[in-house]
Amino acid sequence: MINYSEVPSSETEKGKSIICNNIIAGYQKTQKSVLSPYKQMQASFDRDCLNADNIFIIGYSFSDEHINESIKMALIFNLNLRIHIIDCGFWENVYSKYHSEFIQISPNSENNSYSLNVRSIRNTIIYNYKFKDFLMEKIKMQL
């Protein structure tokens, strides 16, 4: 049992305290993200997305607006960016998870199917693998 008087907390709004830990999950994500060190981590993530040639997204649900906004800005301002999504359940929810959020702002290009488990939509490559299987496939390609 946690004794809340021993846990670090902060108050961003009068009467609304937030318990601080190293993972932002569940309720009050937006309020927690304005606290240090989270705001520095978000700024660093934004900068990395804008400068990256490739972003690998592994098992992400696309339900965190602050992360989605970073990805959107990267797609708009970084024309060299390629997104790699590794998610074995992605195709069942492609339109609700990714397509509706990002595809309209992605640069135009052809949709391709490289194999049964690898497809692309514009500048995004989707790997229908569990992460372990994705890594094993990459290792096989190196041999």
Q: How far apart are CA 129 and CA 59, in angstroms?
A: 10
pTM of the model: 0.70
Res. 19: pLDDT tops 80: no
CA distances from 81 to 7, 62, 63, 78, 123 (A): 40, 18, 21, 6, 7
Q: Are 30 and 66 in contact (CB under 8 A)?
A: yes
* Band of pLDDT at residue 64, cut at 50, 70 and 90: confident
Q: Is 88:82 a contact under the CB 8 Å cutoff? A: no
Q: Give pLDDT tens digits for 103-115.
A: 666 555 566 767 8
Do residues 29 and 66 make contact, with C-beta atoms less than 8 angstroms apart?
Answer: yes
